[in-house]
Structure 1
Amino acid sequence: MTLGEHGALRGIRVIEIGQLIAGPFCGQLLGDMGADVLKVEPPGDGDPMRNWGRGDDKLWWEVVARNKRSISANLRLPEGQQLVRKLATTADILIENFRPGTLERWNLAPESLQALNPRLIIVRVSGYGQTGPYSSRAGFGGIGEAMGGWRYIVGDPDRPPSRMGVSIGDTLAATYGCMGALAALHARERTGVGQIVDSALYEAVLQVMESLIPEYQVAGYVRERSGSALPGIAPSNVYPCKDGQYLIGANQDAVFARLCTAMGRPELADDPRYADHLARGRHQVELDALIADWTRNQTTAEVEKLMIEHGVPAGNIYRAPEMLADPHFKAREAIIDLPTEKWGPLKMQAPFPKLSHTPSSVRSPAPTQVGQHNAEIYGEELGYSADQLDALRAINAI
């Protein structure tokens, strides 16, 4: 099956010259939606993501590089730079996540690429953005999470700031980069010209910080770490059971009343300490303790049954084994089996979100070799002869 044959972005070509997480995840999202993604890797070892993962089995690449074709180009050499310039004339979107100024040093400045192809949209993901006093600094996802406010509020209050178990700063910046690219594609329909999408890691994190800034401006309130609870939002926490833990979210008045009935304590809904949102927030600690006294005498299955019967939002805390065993994941096809050369059918998350008429899909596994599609792209599509490709290999340009 030809890449880009199906999906909302069928017919859109993406050149991805980023590496590690943010740029490649943006490319993954666009590829899942049907775009033809050409992954440009440095000759030799390629993208470091090929060797990222747990233990001896490096599986991250299999997810982030799906739906992509690999070509190699040494962007530090004029010959490699010229290959990207030629590719840019055929593309709709170019993604990069190098430190600002790197493209310019490689003679691949956005204005020069857009001079060759005025319709080209360039997604630039970086730590601090393309402008401002910090723009030239190196920036990784964790730094963006810290500067954007995420790290300070994550963890238990008696311990240093913690982190999530995933690279949320990188993936947020990539997602906003993808969103910007889609908006730029729509704008191009009206204007006929592309534009630059500037996605900074710290600003992507800042976007999901809710009312953190105005809370400080108006009330001088600085959000602090609060563990598994959100201050003033009660009950909404993880509660102990006989055989594990269970998450319950019943902070809305009517839902809280249903929880009280499920617990066999309907009178609590009318107790002045818990009767409305503000009261429950003021008595959050004692309310959590009261609910925990009830749940610790139940199994998770018993609590779940009661929550479902009474319409209370709640759920188990899943790991990979629970996801693979859950019938809802299966019914929704949230996890797919992707045929791979090395691993056989490999389970991974399905494309998301779901579109009713132009569904996203995984049409090909991650390329196994750096430059696996050089002959196909450079030779068949750009017209380079076998001798020309051999000459480029001889100087390590591909």
Structure 2
Amino acid sequence: MSSIVAIDPDQSASSGLTNEVAGRLAFFDRDEQNNDTASAQPTPNKEKVCNEKKLESSGDEGDDDSDVVNRKLNQFLSELKNCGETEKKSRVGNALYQEIYRMQPELAGKLTGMFLEATEDLDRLSFLIFSPGALQLHLSQALSVLNSAQPSPSDTEVVSPSSEKKTEARTPSSPSEREMTGLKRNHPRGGASQYPYNGKKARISPFFAEIVDDTGKRTRVPCKYDVTNKMYVPTGGRDVIPGGKVGTRDKTAEDLQALPLGEIDETKLRARQKQIDIGKNTEGYKRLMDQGFSGRQLQDIIGLPYITEEGVLELTLICGKRRYDGYLRMWKRKLYEFAGLQKIDFKSFPPISADFSPHPQPKSNNRKQANPVRNAPSSRSWAMRVATS
């Protein structure tokens, strides 16, 4: 060989061959079996072995001249005797790469690497260099192994997000994500505001409480419930407060904390505590406490944000008497519902003493006393008054 072409390192490195893939090259196993059977017999000379291999592949390479092939092969093998193992393998690989490049120029480096990994017998590879028919047969087998080892294009195809969304399109009969999680859509009386038609739950309005500043001005501010103190604490009023006054926009949470949030009038507190004690003595309150609801659940059940952890109305809430009485009615109405009552059951309440009763008490025989009738003055007394006057 006058010129030696080096193997392309990029092609050989990108082959990604492993021992498993190389072991699948069955076209060299037949030769190894022949060598094992022939080891028991006297070892023939190399020229005879080459002639036998040439005869085996004579059907595929009818155009080659056997004498020329044998002479070139013997000359090439004699040159390899004086070389080391590394140089010998390099020369065989370069020569084999040249022959493979003529048949498969795109996969020359990969196929050469497959042949070098499949067998360590350089004499066999040297025979393929000078036998185009045998090399063509081995190349077809190597290409079939290489195609079976590579993944199919369908496995490596990258699915775009748009196509993935199209494949996951929900059919009309399949359940929606809301139904699968158990959140079925219902429409109570306030369904338009609580569950709008777009399927999304409406935003819950924040809880508000009324505070009074130093000037006596009442302001509604957003609050959160403080479990430790059992009262509502303002969260800050920098944002515009819906339904409230603009005066709290410049106040921070610390400023609102300093304002008196609880009722301090002893007369109001005693009157409120009396009504709360009446509600706590009912059967509905006992059944409500047996359920074990938390403070937030009690607020949702009763429909009031001013319900404490004990299930009663906030005692120190700053508001007018009319508003607080309305909150008391809402709270007691829910207690009646838990007791299974549709109206007030006076048996559940203690009797009202006569001192606090607004109606007049009967004096005798349980009869109501009518207004006394005044008699008209007599004519004589009238005349005497006129005369004396």
Settle same-fold status: TM greater than 0.5: no
Name which structure has the greater RCO, CA cutoff 8 Å, separation 6+. 1
Structure with the bigger percentage of strand: 1
Question: Which of the two has higher C-alpha Rg?
Answer: 2
Instruction: Give the structure-2-normalised TM-score.
Output: 0.17
